Amino acid sequence: MTVLDVRDLSKGFTMHHLGTQMGAFSDISFSLKEGEFLLLKGRNGAGKSTLLRTLYRSYLAGGGEILFHSNHGVIDLARAADVDVTHLRRTEIGFVTQFLTARPRVSAEALVAEPLRLAGRTADEARREARHWLDAFGVKQELWAAYPTTFSGGEQQKVNLARALILPQRLLLLDEPTASLDVQARAALVNRLAELKAHGTAMIGVFHHPGDVASLIDREIDLTPDAAPEEDRKDVAI
């Protein structure tokens, strides 16, 4: 079943201090099905992260359509109301970055458990699941009740992953999630992504070291200008 149809998508930025327009990408089209993993690649500045943020609606598209096949019907994320986008982010669309936006005086386990609480799980159930994933990603038990604002960058990233991946989503966007991770956390990430893929989650990812997830990749798109069109993973060497 199709999860996402992207049609002729483009994005640019206005450089007000220069009085010019800068294009990020243009005429991007692809479809994504349940359980598929699409890798975005290209040189620095090709627009990989910008494309992910446009799909997530952190950026408004300059043109084209982002047709998301939600559990409630098809919605164009390029034009959807903010309230609808916010609801989909809570229930069906996840975004994983290398940075954690931690709130002051909120513990690691409470932060990780929050998506489950919002989904209707009991406090005890959400806390148990949160502790499981904190442990899986290698966060020391003595830090579970501590505030992530005091953690190192690597430890914050582990909390970020546990929170972002605790609840299976219909669509998952991954922007360099392996940055700052140690070997154990990277292995836990790959294992969790494999579980989500088997569960039917569709994924689009940017990875500095795509070999980390080579076994999961189905297709690739190279955003470098004049690059070859979308290709099947089996025909591409990373």
pLDDT of residue 152: 87
Pair 5, 171: CB distance under 8 Å: no
Nearest in space to 217 (alpha carbons), one of 189, 193, 186: 193
Q: What is the largest CA-CA distance in the chain?
A: 55
Q: How confident is the model at residue 23 (pLDDT cuts 50, 70, 90)?
A: low
Percent of the chain surpassing pLDDT 70: 90
Angle at 118 between CA 124 and CA 157, to 5 degrees: 85
- Domain ranges in the chain are 1-9+22-92+169-238, 98-156
Q: How confident is the model at residue 102 (pLDDT cuts 50, 70, 90)?
A: confident
> Which spans in the chain are helix H?
48-56, 82-91, 108-118, 123-136, 153-165, 183-199
Q: Residue 222 above 90 pLDDT?
A: yes
| Lowest-pLDDT choice from 37-41, 106-110, 152-156, 188-192 | 152-156
| Lowest-pLDDT choice from 7-11, 27-31, 103-107 | 103-107
What is the rounded CA–CA span in Å between residue 203 and residue 170? 9
pLDDT tens digits for 54-89?
999 999 999 999 999 999 999 999 999 999 999 999
**Is the domain 1-9+22-92+169-238 a CATH 3.30.499.10 member?**
no
What is the reported pTM? Answer: 0.88
pLDDT of residue 201: 97
What is the rounded CA–CA span in Å between residue 220 and residue 200? 18
Q: How confident is the model at residue 48 (pLDDT cuts 50, 70, 90)?
A: very high
Q: What is the mean pLDDT of the chain?
A: 89
What is the rounded CA–CA span in Å between residue 234 and residue 153? 35
Q: Between β-strands 37-41 and 20-33, what pairing exists: parallel, antiparallel or unpaired?
A: unpaired
Q: How confident is the model at residue 209 (pLDDT cuts 50, 70, 90)?
A: confident
Place of tokens 């999961």: 216
Q: What is the mean pLDDT of residues 5-24?
A: 79
pLDDT tens digits for 106-137?
999 999 999 999 889 999 999 999 999 999 99
Q: Residue 235 above 70 pLDDT?
A: no
